[in-house]
Amino acid sequence: MTVKITRRTALAGAAALPLAGAATSTHAASHAAAAPSVAARRFALGDMSVTALLDGSFAREGVKDIFGGGASDADFTRVSEENFIPADSAQFYFTPTLVDTGGELVLFDTGLGQGGIQTALNEVGVSPDDINVVVLTHMHPDHIGGLMTEGAPTFANARYVTAAQEYDFWSGMEAGNRVGDLVASNVTPLADKTSFIEDGGAVAPGVTAMAAFGHTPGHMAYMLESGGKQMVLIADLANHYVWSFAHPEWEVSFDTDKAMATESRRRILGMLAADKLPMLGYHMPFPAAGFVDTRGEGFRFVPVSYQLNG
């Protein structure tokens, strides 16, 4: 179910009107060509194309405190060494996703707001003005930072979709909260064009919301379906390709409700492993796509090679 909000009801955190029907894009069908590999990688999914867009990447230290809540230093080091990565640093990736449904261009998340999303879109011949729908999986700054460019909407012709409880939570923060302030400046001005979606709601034909709460109160994953094929955009369900998969119970400092985040990780990663479905994760090493396999009491991420070439 989706509902339409106005600026007034957005500020009140309420939604009342049905989502307006999706407009047909005059651009979508023209962007099916394979993407270059520098900041964009295209995958085929039935009649859809799914393009990973690298918005940015940087290294960070102190990762045990971020990804290893509840783990002993020895266990965290052991899992890191078993997977040939250092235990004291990690490379962060930020990867919005562009889905061409054949009728609309749907962008999932907008990056850090430092121009990376525009660069990646340009590599695949897409202008920000071509985007028909922007889906916000949640409202952390690295997902909503690119909504505005010099105070104006980056995606001027788009409608916007997010979860009601996500907007309500962050818009209710007092001034001075970093995320709340960014929501006020980047999301609230788009309220007239924003719709709320619930678990099982459709963004567009073949694009369905999946509750994945815990990372934030309204964090959503999305199932893509076309031509008998499926793929799941997991957003920030798992923030690291080793630690969050091998031990879903290890707490992540970015998660708002850590117990709920663990439950969501186990449930959705278990489904992906059982059904052998491809996934694309916002913070996975670029191009961010792969598969999930079971390993002991946890999971492992298997990066895509050529399985999704079109």
Which pLDDT value is given to residue 7? 37
Q: How far apart are CA 24 and CA 239, in angstroms?
A: 34
Which pLDDT value is given to residue 8? 34
97-107 confidence digits (pLDDT tens) = 999 999 999 99
Angle 113-115-120 (CA atoms, 0-180°, nearest 5)?
120
Q: How far apart are CA 91 and CA 197, in angstroms?
A: 32
Please enumerate in sequence order all residues whose Cβ is within 8 A of that of 18, keeping only pairs 6 or more positions apart, or say none.
2, 3, 4
Which pLDDT value is given to residue 31? 47
What's the burial of 208, exposed, middle or buried (CB within 10 Å: 0-12/13-18/19+)?
A: buried
Sequence ranges of the domains in the chain: 2-303
Assigned token pair, 271: 């489904």
Cα-based torsion angle of the residue sequence 198, 203, 207, 212 in order, rounded to the nearest 10 degrees: -30
| Local structure of 128: helix, strand or coil | helix
**Range 2-303 classified under CATH 3.40.50.1700:** no
Q: Are 7 and 110 in contact (CB under 8 A)?
A: no
Q: How far apart are CA 252 and CA 229, in angstroms?
A: 31
Task: Identify the residue whose tokens are 């270059």.
Answer: 36
Q: How many Cβ atoms from other residues are within 10 Å of residue 169's Cβ?
A: 20
Which pLDDT value is given to residue 38? 82
State phi, psi for 250 to the nearest 5 degrees.
Answer: -65, 125
Q: Are 94 and 140 in contact (CB under 8 A)?
A: no
Which pLDDT value is given to residue 179? 97
Q: Are 51 and 98 in contact (CB under 8 A)?
A: yes
**pLDDT-flagged residues of the chain (< 50):** 1-36
Which pLDDT value is given to residue 37? 55
